[in-house]
Amino acid sequence: MTAALEASGLGKSYGAVSALGALDLSIPRGLVYGVLGPNGAGKSTLLRLALGLIRPSRGSVRLLGESEINARVLRRVGAMIEAPALYPFLTARETMRAFARYSGLNDPAREQAVLDRVGLTAAADRRAKTFSMGMRQRLALGAALLTRPELLILDEPTNGLDPAGIQEMRTLIRDLVDKEGVTIILSSHLLDEVQKVCDRVAFINRGNLVSEGKVSELVAGQGGLFLRASPMAKAMAVLGARGRVEGDGIVAEITEDAAPALIRDLVAAGVDVYEARWMTLSLERVFMSAMGSAA
């Protein structure tokens, strides 16, 4: 099966400023793929290049296997790039109608179903200019879902959403992928959310790919053992350079396999262990580490 998005030496420059270096990236289908990076890393540039909104300075991009980015392929894609793009004078229902017409759809039932799905049924006849940021985000997502896309590109989809909205968005994203087979590419600054929802991620910094892989593999085996033990001095003596004090406990930087032996050593040394908990390395720490090594 062809990749959902394939970038080959893809780059974009604005005069002397390079927004995207020469990116090689292949995003497989059927999963949630996170594109992560600090502000100005080139995430939005990559997504705009993929959608044909800007033209590459070098390299090429293939979307759903097509090298020519036109409306024929883009109608198989739903996109929400940066702030929600909405007509302020249209109501939510009219917004759906207008975008449906652009897409060549004439299916009022589908428009209503999408409004229901993004939770805007009650506000369907209110103008978009009266909407909160979260509601605008929902409406833009609804517009992106209108054509039953194979690929959904979401740039900061949880911006402006309250905690309940973020959870709904997470559920919706997983449902679209797991139940409907949609591929989702999303960029976000909320790394905790990305870790919860994404299957694979790519870290981009200064327009270049820093690292890429499955989320589970990136965070696996790189955690630490959190210990609440007494006396701490004796515990630190056993751990040596592997231990560091964090709050009221100690974090032992060891592999998960070595944890039982360490606990036995601590007990044998007369340390009372009150709590021992394996901490998975967060995606945020992986991200910071990747960005640090790339700097």
Partner 1 sequence: MIIEALRAELYKLSRNRWSTFWAFGFMPLFALGMGVVEQIVVHAYLGDIIPFASPLHDSLGGLATFSASIFQLCGIAGAAIIFGGEYRWETWRAALTRVDRAPIMAAKMLTFAIAISASLALCGVARLIVGFIDVALTGSATWPPVDAGGIVLAHLIGFAASFLQVMVTAAFVMLVCVVSRAMTAGIVATLLALVACEIASIRGNFGDDPIWLLFPNISGEAVRQAASITMGGRDGLLAHFAPLGAAALVLWFILLFAVALALFTRQDLSKE
**Measured distance CA(48)–CA(277) in Å, rounded:** 43
Q: Are 115 and 96 in contact (CB under 8 A)?
A: yes
Shortest Cβ distance from residue 100 to partner 1 (Å)? 8
**Using DSSP, how many helices (H) and how many strands (E) does the chain show?**
11, 13
Decide whether 20 or 262 has the Cβ nearer to partner 1: 20
Q: Is 101 in the site for partner 1 (CB under 8 A)?
A: yes
Answer for which of 26, 28, 59, 97 binds partner 1 (CB under 8 A) is 97
Per-residue contact track with partner 1, 120 to 159, x per CB under 8 A?
--------------------x--x---x------------
Tell me if 278 contacts partner 1 by CB under 8 A: no
Please report, in angstroms and rounded to a whole number, the separation of the first and last CA atoms in the chain: 35
- CB-nearer residue toward partner 1: 95 or 211: 95
86 binds partner 1 (CB under 8 A): yes
Does 54 interact with partner 1 (rule: CB under 8 A)?
yes
Beta strands in the chain (DSSP E): 5-14, 17-27, 32-36, 58-63, 77-80, 151-155, 183-187, 200-205, 208-214, 224-230, 243-246, 249-252, 272-279
Among 45, 137, 205, 211, binds partner 1 (CB under 8 A): 45
User: Looking at 87, 116, 264, 274, which residue binds partner 1 (CB under 8 A)?
Assistant: 87
If the CB atoms of residues 142 and 224 are measured against partner 1, the closer one turns out to be 142
Q: Do the beta carbons of residue 127 and residue 51 sit within 8 Å? A: no
107 is a contact residue toward partner 1 (CB under 8 A) = no
Region of 109 (left: φ > 0; alpha: ψ -120 to 50; beta: rest) is: alpha
Of 16, 17, 39, 55, the residue at the interface with partner 1 (CB under 8 A) is 55
- CB of 193 vs partner 1, minimal distance in Å: 23
- For residue 84, what are its two tokens? 């929600």
